Structure 1
Amino acid sequence: MSTVTTTPAADRTPVPDVFAPAKLGPLTLRNRIIKAATFEGATPDALVTDALIDYHVKPAAGGIGMTTVAYCAVAPEGRTDRHQIWMRPEAVPGLRRLTDAVHAEGAAVSAQIGHAGPVANAKSNRLPALAPGRLFSPLGMKMCKAATADDIRRVTEAHARAARLAVEAGFDAVEVHLGHNYLASAFLSPKLNRRDDAYGGSLENRAKVARGVVRAVREAVGDRIAVTAKLNMADGVPGGIWLTESIRTARWLEEDGCLDALELTAGSSLLNPMYLFRGDAPVPEFAAAFPQPVQLGIRLMGKRFLIPYPYQEAYLLEYARQFRAELDMPLILLGGITNRTTMDLAMAEGFDFVAMGRAILREPDLVNRIAADESRRSVKSLCIHCNKCMPTIYSRTRCVLVDPEPPRW
């Protein structure tokens, strides 16, 4: 495991303590550590279950400042799978049980809201997936529908409605999904967006969906809860979004004044998911999660889709520091945050929060263990970045080294 070293940002001294309370918009978190949104695979009826509540209570009890519920789709066709929650009145009572349980452990809780666009599984949802233009989605094995102006207005309004329901359900924040080639990210991508209307061509046009949904969410919730967004720095595919355009988009989002923080991410769930995750590519495990003939296709072609990238601590820092240099707004560093050394590095580099995913899945109490470590350096995550947790989203997301068997619903 390699360690990134750098000089602390001169204009960000003194370096904040990652375990001290911190403001996030109208919200005060007990520390600067956020559990990143990772689909839980615990909602077989698209509603909250005890398993989903337990999934978030564990890291809350384990010391996290805020946990993020993923993935709360804003519309039924915007789910990557029909078992995902979509934000509607019927979901609110269960979500309220979840937020109350997390609050009882002293943590805050955010709802990740968004529309999967071309990443949606049209076959599973039994509804057409939306994209900037007609394209074939290997995830649903169907053609996506080109989103019309009416579709865009409907999805924008759905984001606002979802945000209001999140307030009703007791969430402290919402995270708007603008990454991973979900709908807003697909519009940003010059590879996926070949439109010649007001939503295509120039970056300013391609950014209209992302900016519009964020603005609608802020107008819907005001200052009652925090509003963050997850934005791709790079898609990791030829012809996709790259740093220069993404930084420009981030500047626009900052100028719009609708966000309390921006979480920086990378990769395409549609075309190159391992660009975000880094580490081993679990092709056999992914194949085993699907029926035939999809299983055979993954075994034969999976290595072209699940491309492994070497893992290192803070592996998105090199990209993210370019955003830090250009922006004044609070930023959340994601990717390879597993120990106190890397957390302190993020603070020294000028980031306001860190987000953790797989390490918390492996050890829900990791944050408390790090906080209790007097040397501040001896606690190391047990996560080995095998990524075999990734295919478990189709049964129940878990670390297979701890919990090898899927549940029976």
Structure 2
Amino acid sequence: MSPHPPEPFAPTRLGPVTLRNRVIKAATSEGRSPNGLVTDDLIDFHVAFAEGGVGMTTVAYCCVSKESASAPGQIVMSPAALPGLQKLADAVHGAGAAISAQLGHAGVVAPKRLTGVTAVAPSRFVNPTSFAYCREVGRDEINLVTEQFATAAQVAIDAGFDAVELHFGHLYLPSSFLSPLINRRKDGYGGSIDNRSRFVREIAARVREVVGDRIAVTAKVNMDDGMPGGIWVDEALRTVQLLDGDATLDAIELTQGSSVYKPMYLFRGDVPVREFAKVMPAALRPGVRLAGKRAMGSYPYRDLYMLDAARQFVSVVRHTKLILLGGITNLDHVQTGLREGFDFVAIGRALLREPDLVNRMITDPGVRSRCTHNNKCMVTVFGRTHCVLDPAQRYGATAASPVDEPAST
């Protein structure tokens, strides 16, 4: 515990970027780009966090290619998306905050019905949630995906973004290479944790080579994925140590869980089985009601629920800053993270409930979040992500037309 932790709301540096404070809006699915392009609704969504006081807001899951999508309506980092991304960056900057784009390749989570191609994994794999077959990704494809991350980062630069977040978590393609359960390769990308970390290191190095010191580069890395035989803290420490030694990243956000197995391990709290059943096809609803809680997992919520695992990483890094995620809802939590040696904190659901929570913390240090961790917001990602307890979000404006296209009449 540091006796002199940094001031949470004073300006600070993240690589080449100055942030007005140490609070980052974590990437959370948005559902506000139905055509894969930025809309006015998406801009308003992120401007609300900027006006609410965050140092930086993160645009969730921007695909590095069409084949890398995990859900409909995700933005592909391409020239077609550039005008809208530029307008989004300008609007967030105008509200006083920085903006980051989370770059990802879904890998085993990419549904064939959406992408049109069979999902890829480090080794042949059957997704235990969708039962979809995933083929082994080839060596040439590994190089291609690395270049796609670099190209996507260049799009972020062209759009005026301040940072990119490389999604190395939740068992998407880069993260699945880290998993001894999914990665059974016999080449230089499989076997030891040093070999299994090779892919994420190559992506980070190539992105840094392209962006230089023009923007910050961060990564979201799994501490453990909640799957028996999968990623756990002991090997995750080595991955972070290797990335830190490469000095290619400005910061690492530590996370847990996956999109493959028991997703509540990431979120914690109530399991919204009834709400998920309502959005499923009629034939599946009885099964969801009966077995949904078992399939999704049930993990009680507690404040700072990732801290016990995350504090193991503080002594491992020498060059890279660390971002604490998970159960941060008030100023005491923020200060605890900074005292523990973290440089930034990331907040998701609490800001979805109250976009102005940071400003409220500044003016009233004793303020408590209104988020109840009911997790019903998880179900809203099938439409337009919002907090179900906020009437302005639930009953407000619907998604707008893309800003790059004329609105239809």
Count of residues paired in the alignment? 396
Q: Secondary structure at the match of 1:389?
A: helix
Counterpart in the other structure of 1:335: 326
Counterpart in the other structure of 1:350: 341
Superposed CA RMSD in Å reads: 1.5
Q: CA deviation at 1:82?
A: 3.1
Is 269-278 or 180-189 further displaced after alignment? 269-278
CA contact (8 A) 2:58 2:99 kept: yes
CA contact (8 A) 2:129 2:261 kept: no
Q: Secondary structure at the match of 1:355?
A: strand
Post-superposition Cα deviations, 1:178-213, rounded to whole Å, max 9, x if no partner, equal: 000000110100111112222111111111111111
Q: CA deviation at 1:126?
A: 2.1
Is 323-332 or 227-236 further displaced after alignment? 323-332
Counterpart in the other structure of 1:247: 237
Q: Distance in 2 between matches of 1:404 and 1:138?
A: 32
Corresponding letter in the other structure for 2:202: G
Is 276-285 or 228-237 further displaced after alignment? 276-285
Post-superposition Cα deviations, 1:336-380, rounded to whole Å, max 9, x if no partner, equal: 11101111111111110000000000000111011011xx22x00
Q: CA deviation at 1:327?
A: 1.7
CA contact (8 A) 1:284 1:299 kept: yes
Post-superposition Cα deviations, 1:217-252, rounded to whole Å, max 9, x if no partner, equal: 111100000000000001111101111100000000
Where in structure 2 are the equivalents of 1:301-320 lying within 5 Å? 301-320=291-310
Q: CA deviation at 1:137?
A: 2.6
Where in structure 2 are the equivalents of 1:82-231 lying within 5 Å? 82-137=72-127, 141-231=131-221
Q: Distance in 2 between matches of 1:51 and 1:138?
A: 34
Of 28, 31, 35 in structure 2, the residue corresponding to residue 38 of structure 1 is: 28
Where in structure 2 are the equivalents of 1:274-293 lying within 5 Å? 274-293=264-283
Counterpart in the other structure of 1:401: 389
Post-superposition Cα deviations, 1:151-199, rounded to whole Å, max 9, x if no partner, equal: 1111110000000000001100000000000001101001111122221
Q: Distance in 1 between matches of 2:52 and 2:35?
A: 28
1:325/1:99 Cα in 2 relative to 1: closer, same or farther (>3 Å)?
same
CA contact (8 A) 1:46 1:84 kept: yes
Counterpart in the other structure of 1:236: 226
Counterpart in the other structure of 2:379: 391
Q: CA deviation at 1:140?
A: 5.1
Q: Distance in 2 between matches of 1:251 and 1:71?
A: 25
* Structure 2 unmatched runs, 5+: 401-409
Q: Distance in 2 between matches of 1:123 and 1:300?
A: 26
Q: Secondary structure at the match of 1:325?
A: coil
Is residue 2:372 matched to residue 1:381? no
Q: CA deviation at 1:214?
A: 0.9
Q: Distance in 2 between matches of 1:62 and 1:408?
A: 21
Q: Distance in 1 between matches of 2:33 and 2:54?
A: 22
Corresponding letter in the other structure for 1:99: A
Structure 1 residue runs of 4 or more that deviate by more than 4 Å after TM superposition:
138-141
CA contact (8 A) 2:127 2:134 kept: yes
Corresponding letter in the other structure for 1:187: F
1:138/1:296 Cα in 2 relative to 1: closer, same or farther (>3 Å)?
farther
CA contact (8 A) 2:67 2:117 kept: yes
Is 132-141 or 154-163 further displaced after alignment? 132-141
Q: Distance in 2 between matches of 1:125 and 1:139?
A: 18
1:138/1:290 Cα in 2 relative to 1: closer, same or farther (>3 Å)?
farther
Q: Distance in 2 between matches of 1:327 and 1:357?
A: 25
CA contact (8 A) 2:223 2:237 kept: yes
Is 300-309 or 259-268 further displaced after alignment? 300-309
Q: Distance in 2 between matches of 1:308 and 1:182?
A: 22
Post-superposition Cα deviations, 1:281-302, rounded to whole Å, max 9, x if no partner, equal: 1122122223244444433332
Counterpart in the other structure of 2:407: none
Q: Secondary structure at the match of 1:144?
A: strand
Q: Secondary structure at the match of 2:335?
A: helix
CA contact (8 A) 2:104 2:167 kept: yes
Corresponding letter in the other structure for 1:298: V
CA contact (8 A) 1:37 1:70 kept: yes
Q: CA deviation at 1:113?
A: 0.3
CA contact (8 A) 2:57 2:99 kept: yes
CA contact (8 A) 1:122 1:140 kept: no
Corresponding letter in the other structure for 2:182: L
Q: CA deviation at 1:397?
A: 0.6
TM-score of the superposition, structure 1-length normalised?
0.94
TM-score of the superposition, structure 2-length normalised?
0.94
Post-superposition Cα deviations, 1:261-307, rounded to whole Å, max 9, x if no partner, equal: 01000001111211111111112212222324444443333222211
1:360/1:251 Cα in 2 relative to 1: closer, same or farther (>3 Å)?
same
